[in-house]
């Protein structure tokens, strides 16, 4: 290090950086910042350079805060990827060797957040600078060639990190090409990407790094090619999520193949792009079908709820189900039609009181602070309600984006979130990221001019534009009236002018006709869907519940013939026990006998359609209302010997190890004590609900108690709330229910709230993967003692599903 004497005054330092060599750093410094250049001149040059870049989009109107937010987002969206080549065009590749920028290109780029930026950021970059987009596409291809043909999902500089899931490179390249970045080796890149999508590599077959850092470009590609979906147990991060990502990537490959004139390849991958259907369970939930995690034997992972994260990456089933960007019409058909999809969208974006649910509203609601949800507001345009796209996008912009610290929702992810804001403020979005059709919202500003190097500028004029006036009354495209809430690819290619009339009152008719909807790409769809569900239920002795066998034709008419047979254990009856469904659904009533013992029961439904057949387990819990058994709604413990895919304690697929807990003293059905209070650890079989996530359940104690302690833990950070205790005389009191996070902040935190450590294990399990060497804990809360003369009769849990209760300790 270097020290300077006190009072020496300002010290000027110039730094050269090179990934190649010290000599390269010196040469870069001499070329970019020669000795006589002052700090002020460098500062002024940087300001001019950014002013020129930001001037690619000029907006007029709006408030100072709105313009500041817009240009801040544009600035962030233009920061990455980064130039990693030296002034002499040399750079260090992922193979550790020195390479030279490809002929005809200006620079080599690195630092590429593929999972994030493939959705919109590379499209925005290329719209404004096709030359830059072309260089980025060629850069990705060159780095893959130097990496043994592997296109890494997330590059730091030139080096792969393997982080996240999916195969984002096909979509990034297709998006770049669609938005004008055509000057790269299309055929070479396509051949490399097709090989990666069809020939499993040693890395694909290896479990190294799974789940978060899976080494292969397409982990467990062998399973995907065999089953046409990614099963719950694989080398990939998230089975259901991986199928959606692969479907997106394969549709992108079909677009690249079409551009290269390779018709057969295009058709093959267009059909593969519809494999998302194999993870869509039309009977997943009473509210409708969802993308769900599926086992290799064809059955669905039991215990599905829309807010489960089991099988998903940084999201839930409710959030990922919408991620069929290229085929919303097919997705809506699987949901039961446009009207049902529209109702689902409304529920997704709103709380029960009608308020917006954009972030932090629960796993069954939107999460517009992360990438899997950001395209969803634009799906209203496909459902015949573009005015709802307009109001939803604008409300999200106003609520989530500000000029204050924290004014960007979530992590900006190398400009992906900021690119969403820029596109949305302009009133347009590349909802299908591998194509250049733009789905419309409405412009925030009265005027916007998008200047492009080829002269194919885009001009937006919006009469009546204001933050509170998002609704389109009319639109002219190049002077001609249009009632379509989308722009064709030719508009991006050629440029043009948009003239809006906006208002604070919705025009529900504009763009609502089915013929006006943006295009969906349905080539290769299966003609029908079948499903069994729900796959888990709780009922009281003497009570009944219903499941359904459903068959749905996606193009109308009669569905396929599906035969079913139900096998129920003693104490449970199924009516009907067998039959045939040819369209719609057949309800099956599962009834528990009045004298059925409380506990866990396994029902098996065998469904057969044509030559295909699979057995679907249905997990039943028979429990009297008000018992802790009835309150259990989460599976938090898995067996080391199993696949761990039935357990999902924290919404991300992690769970306690049954064996590790037993070694720490918590055995199924075993007794434990803490602070003189006694509890019974759940005796749930593997894969069955063993804890209650706090959601307002009322639990009656087996016997009135003088003191009470909750045994469990928190997920997603420390959680603090209050439970309501009811005494035998009917009076109530509040009891603290606060738990430390089950990993104590990943080992970096401290036990909070006076929690007692009941058990500590050295690892936890991951769904479909191996052991995660992170210490996990089970805690007990500080005992709550009833006043003298009173006894606790029952307790009502708070509404915080990140608090989990395994047992009640009493005395």
For the ranges 506-515, 533-542, 552-561, 587-596, which has the lowest average pLDDT? Answer: 552-561
How many whole angstroms separate alpha carbon 734 and alpha carbon 728?
15
Name the helix (H) or strand (E) containing 144.
helix 130-145
How many whole angstroms separate alpha carbon 618 and alpha carbon 535?
4
How many whole angstroms separate alpha carbon 576 and alpha carbon 587?
8
Q: What is the pLDDT of residues 135-156, one digit of tens each?
A: 999 999 999 999 999 999 999 9
Burial annotation 56-71 (CB, 10 A radius, 16+ → b, else e):
bbebeebeeebbebbb
* Nearest residue to 657 (alpha-carbon basis) of 676, 671, 642, 673: 642
**226 Cβ neighbours under 8 A, 6+ residues apart:** none
- Which pLDDT band, with edges at 50, 70 and 90, does 668 fall under? very high
- Which pLDDT band, with edges at 50, 70 and 90, does 236 fall under? very high
Q: What is the pLDDT of the chain when averaged over all its residues?
A: 95
What integer is the mean pLDDT of 442-465? 97
Q: What is the pLDDT of residues 106-141, one digit of tens each?
A: 999 999 999 999 999 999 999 999 999 999 999 999
Q: What is the DSSP-derived secondary structure letter of residue 631?
A: H
Residue 559 has pLDDT above 80, yes or no: no
- 3-class SS of residue 46: helix
Q: What is the pLDDT of residues 618-642, one digit of tens each?
A: 999 999 999 999 999 999 999 998 7
The pLDDT value recorded for residue 557 is 67
* Nearest residue to 320 (alpha-carbon basis) of 399, 383, 238: 238
Residue 169 has pLDDT above 70, yes or no: yes
Q: What is the pLDDT of residues 736-789, one digit of tens each?
A: 999 999 999 999 999 999 999 999 999 999 876 678 899 999 999 999 999 999
**536 Cβ neighbours under 8 A, 6+ residues apart:** 302, 303, 304, 618, 619, 620, 621, 689
The pLDDT value recorded for residue 610 is 83
Q: What is the pTM of this model?
A: 0.89
Residue 691 has pLDDT above 80, yes or no: yes
How many whole angstroms separate alpha carbon 77 and alpha carbon 71?
10
Name the helix (H) or strand (E) containing 70.
helix 64-77
* Nearest residue to 560 (alpha-carbon basis) of 579, 575, 580: 580
The pLDDT value recorded for residue 645 is 80
Q: Evaluate whether the domain defined by 528-622 bears CATH number 3.40.50.300.
A: no
Provide the strand spans (E) within 504-559.
Answer: 528-533, 536-539, 544-553
- 3-class SS of residue 204: helix
Q: What is the DSSP-derived secondary structure letter of residue 497?
A: E
- Cβ atoms 176, 134 nearer than 8 A: yes
Domain boundaries, the chain: 1-54, 324-524, 528-622, 628-810
- Which pLDDT band, with edges at 50, 70 and 90, does 9 fall under? confident
Q: What is the pLDDT of residues 340-356, one digit of tens each?
A: 999 999 999 999 999 99
Would the CATH topology of 324-524 be identical to that of 528-622?
no
326 beta partners: none
The pLDDT value recorded for residue 769 is 66
Q: What is the pLDDT of residues 222-234, one digit of tens each?
A: 999 999 999 998 9
H helices of 350-463, where? 386-400, 416-426
CATH assignment of 324-524, among 3.30.2080.10, 3.40.50.720, 1.10.540.10, 3.40.225.10: 3.30.2080.10
Percent of the chain with pLDDT over 70: 100
Burial class (CB in 10 A: 0-12, 13-18, 19+), 782: middle
* Nearest residue to 579 (alpha-carbon basis) of 592, 569, 589: 589
> Which token pair is 488?
């064709």
Q: What is the pLDDT of residues 383-419, one digit of tens each?
A: 999 999 999 999 999 999 999 999 999 999 999 999 9
Distance of CA 774 to the CA centre of its chain: 24
> Which token pair is 220?
């467990």
Hey, CA dihedral for 301, 306, 308, 312, is it positive or negative?
positive
Q: Any idea of the CA torsion for 767, 768, 769, 773, to the nearest 10 degrees?
A: 10
* Phi-psi label, residue 387: left if phi above 0, alpha if psi -120 to 50, beta otherwise: alpha
The pLDDT value recorded for residue 2 is 85
- Which pLDDT band, with edges at 50, 70 and 90, does 527 fall under? confident
């Amino acid at each position: 290090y270097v020290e300077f004497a006190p009072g020496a005054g300002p010290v000027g330092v110039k730094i050269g950086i090179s990934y190649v060599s010290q000599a390269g750093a010196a040469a870069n410094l001499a070329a970019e910042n020669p000795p006589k250049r002052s700090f002020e001149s460098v500062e002024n040059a940087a300001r001019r350079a950014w002013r020129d870049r930001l001037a690619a989009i000029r907006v007029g109107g709006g408030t100072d805060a709105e313009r500041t937010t817009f240009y801040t987002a544009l600035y962030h969206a233009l920061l990455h990827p980064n130039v990693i080549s030296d002034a002499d065009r040399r750079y260090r590749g992922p193979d550790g060797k020195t390479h030279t920028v490809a002929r005809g290109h200006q620079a080599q780029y690195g630092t590429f957040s593929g999972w994030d930026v493939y959705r919109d950021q590379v499209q925005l970059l290329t719209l404004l600078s096709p030359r830059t987009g072309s260089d980025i596409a060629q850069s990705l291809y060159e780095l893959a060639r130097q990496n043994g043909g592997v296109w890494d999902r997330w590059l730091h500089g030139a080096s792969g990190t393997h982080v996240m899931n999916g195969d984002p490179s096909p979509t990034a390249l297709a998006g770049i090409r669609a938005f004008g970045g055509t000057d790269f080796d299309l055929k070479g890149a396509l051949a490399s990407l097709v090989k990666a999508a069809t020939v499993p590599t040693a890395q694909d077959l290896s479990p190294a790094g799974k789940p978060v850092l899976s080494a292969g470009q397409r982990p467990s590609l062998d399973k995907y090619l065999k089953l046409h979906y990614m099963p719950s147990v694989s080398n990939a991060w998230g089975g259901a999520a991986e199928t959606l990502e692969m479907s997106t990537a394969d549709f992108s490959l079909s677009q690249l193949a079409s551009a290269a004139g390779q018709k057969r390849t295009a058709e093959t991958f267009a059909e593969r792009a519809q494999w998302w259907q194999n993870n869509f369970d039309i009977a997943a939930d009473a509210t409708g079908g969802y993308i769900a995690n599926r086992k290799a034997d064809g059955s669905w992972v039991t215990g599905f709820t829309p807010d489960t994260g089991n099988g998903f990456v940084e999201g839930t089933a409710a959030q990922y189900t919408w991620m069929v960007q290229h085929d919303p019409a097919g997705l809506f058909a699987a949901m039961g039609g446009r009207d049902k999809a529209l109702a689902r969208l409304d529920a997704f974006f709103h709380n029960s009181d009608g308020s917006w649910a954009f972030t932090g509203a629960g796993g069954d609601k939107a999460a517009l602070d992360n990438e899997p949800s950001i395209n969803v507001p634009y799906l209203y345009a496909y459902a015949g309600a573009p005015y709802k796209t307009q109001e939803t996008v604008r409300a999200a912009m106003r609520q989530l984006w500000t000029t204050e610290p924290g004014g960007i929702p979530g992590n900006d992810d190398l400009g992906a979130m900021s690119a969403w804001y820029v596109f949305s403020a302009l009133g347009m979005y590349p909802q299908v990221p591998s194509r250049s059709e733009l789905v419309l919202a409405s412009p925030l500003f009265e005027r916007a001019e998008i200047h492009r190097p080829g002269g194919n500028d885009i001009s937006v004029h919006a009469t009546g534009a204001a933050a509170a006036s998002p609704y389109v009354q009319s639109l002219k495209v190049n002077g001609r009236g249009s009632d379509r809430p989308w722009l064709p690819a030719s508009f991006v290619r050629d440029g043009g002018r948009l003239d809006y009339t906006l208002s604070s009152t919705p025009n529900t008719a504009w763009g609502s006709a089915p013929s006006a909807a943006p295009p969906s790409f349905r080539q290769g769809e299966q003609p029908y869907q079948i499903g069994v569900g729900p796959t888990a239920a709780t009922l009281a002795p003497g009570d009944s519940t219903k499941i359904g066998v459903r068959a749905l034709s996606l193009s109308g008419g009669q569905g396929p013939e599906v035969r079913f047979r139900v096998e129920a254990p003693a104490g449970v009856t199924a009516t009907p026990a067998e039959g045939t469904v040819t369209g719609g659904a057949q309800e099956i009533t599962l009834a528990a006998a009045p004298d059925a013992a409380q506990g866990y029961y396994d029902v098996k439904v065998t469904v057969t359609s044509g030559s295909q057949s699979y057995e679907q387990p249905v997990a039943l819990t028979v429990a009297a209302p008000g018992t802790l058994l009835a309150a259990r709604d989460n599976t938090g413990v898995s067996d080391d010997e199993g696949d761990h895919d039935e357990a999902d304690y924290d919404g991300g697929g992690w769970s306690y190890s049954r064996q590790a807990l037993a070694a720490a003293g918590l055995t199924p059905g075993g007794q434990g004590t803490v602070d003189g209070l006694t509890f019974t650890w759940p005796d749930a079989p593997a894969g069955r609900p063993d804890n209650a996530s706090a959601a307002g359940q009322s639990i009656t104690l087996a016997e009135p108690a003088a003191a009470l302690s909750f045994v469990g833990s928190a997920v997603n950070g420390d959680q603090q709330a209050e439970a309501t205790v009811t005494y035998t005389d009917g009076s109530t009191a509040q009891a603290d229910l606060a738990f430390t996070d089950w990993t104590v902040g990943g080992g970096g935190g401290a036990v909070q709230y006076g929690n007692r450590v009941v058990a500590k294990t050295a690892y936890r399990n991951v769904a479909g993967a191996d052991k995660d060497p992170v210490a996990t804990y089970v805690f007990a809360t500080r005992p709550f003692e009833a006043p003298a003369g009173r006894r606790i009769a029952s307790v009502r849990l708070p509404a915080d599903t990140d608090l989990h209760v395994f047992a009640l300790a009493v005395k």
